Chain A
C-alpha cells in the first residue's frame, strides 16, 4: 500500500524522468541530425513538465483571477516555461540551419558519414 501511494504521488515525476531519459538516449544513440534535434525537443518538453508539475495544486484552477475561485495553481513556473518554449524554438531553428549548412558542406546529415569525410580529408 505504501509503495502504491508513492507511485501515485510521484507518477508525474516518473513520466517526466522517462521523457528526459528517452530524449537523452535519442540524442546519444541516433546519428541522424534531424532525429537528434527531435530528441532534444523531447528532452525540452520533459523540462516543461518538471517545472509545471510542482506548480499544480490539486483542487486548484488555472491562475486567471475570478471571484468564483479561491485556489489557484502557481503562476510563476508557467511564466518561466512560456519563455523557455519560445527560446527553445529559437535554438531549434538555429540547430536546423546548422544541419542545412552541414548538408551543404558534407552532402550528408548523418554524423557517422561526416566523421568519415573528416577522417579522409
Chain B
C-alpha cells in the first residue's frame, strides 16, 4: 500500500505521534508523553502542513528499486535483534541503569529542590546546562530557518517588481 497524497502522510504521522505518546504513558514517562503529544503531534504536524503549502502535496511516481534498501534494513534489524539479548530483560529493578545516579535523584531531589516531580528537578536543576544547550540548538535552528525562508521572500518580491514594470 502506497500513500501518494502527502497530506495523508502528514496526518498519519500525527496519529502515529499520539499513539507513541500513549505508549510512553504506559512506560511511566508522563512528561515525555505530554511533550510528544504537544510537540510531536502538534508542532511537527503544523510545520509539515506549512511546508506542503509552500511546496507540493502529491508524490511523483518513482522507479527506484526497493531491494537494496530492504536488504540494508533487514540486515541492520537482524544485527540489532541479535545484540538485544545482551540487554537486561524488560522491567527488572536490578538492571544497572537503576543502580547509578537515579537512586540519588529519587532520594534527595525533594529535599534539595522541593520539587516533587523528579523529571522537572533533574531537567531544570541538576542538569540545567543540558537545557541551556538545548535552547542554543533551537536558537540556531531558528536562525537557519529564518535565513532560508527570508531569502525566498526577497526573491519573490524582486520577481514581482520585474513582472509589473
Contacts and interface: CB of A to CB of B under 8 A. Distances in A.
Given A38-B9, A97-B145, A110 B62 contact: yes
Interface class of chain A by DSSP: helix
B91 A34 contact: no
Interface in A80-121: 80-83, 85-94, 96-101, 103-104, 108-110, 112-113
B55 A48 contact: no
A82 B51 contact: no
Contact of A89 (B6, B43, B52, B117): B43
A interface bracket (residues with beta carbon within 8 Å of B): 35 or more
Interface of B: 6, 9-10, 13, 16-17, 20, 23-24, 27-32, 35-36, 39-40, 43-44, 47-48, 50-52, 54-56, 59-60, 62-64, 66, 68-70, 72-74, 76-77, 80-81, 84-85, 87-93, 95, 97-98, 101-102, 105-106, 109-110, 116-119, 122-123, 127, 130-131, 134, 137-138, 141-142, 144-145, 148-149, 151-152, 155
25 contacts: A10-B85, A10-B87, A13-B81, A17-B77, A20-B80, A21-B77, A24-B72, A24-B73, A24-B76, A34-B6, A34-B55, A41-B13, A45-B16, A45-B17, A45-B20, A52-B24, A58-B93, A63-B118, A64-B116, A83-B134, A89-B44, A92-B47, A96-B48, A97-B145, A103-B54
Interface of A: 6, 9-14, 17-18, 20-22, 24-25, 28-32, 34-35, 37-38, 41-42, 45, 48-49, 52-58, 60-66, 71-83, 85-94, 96-101, 103-104, 108-110, 112-113
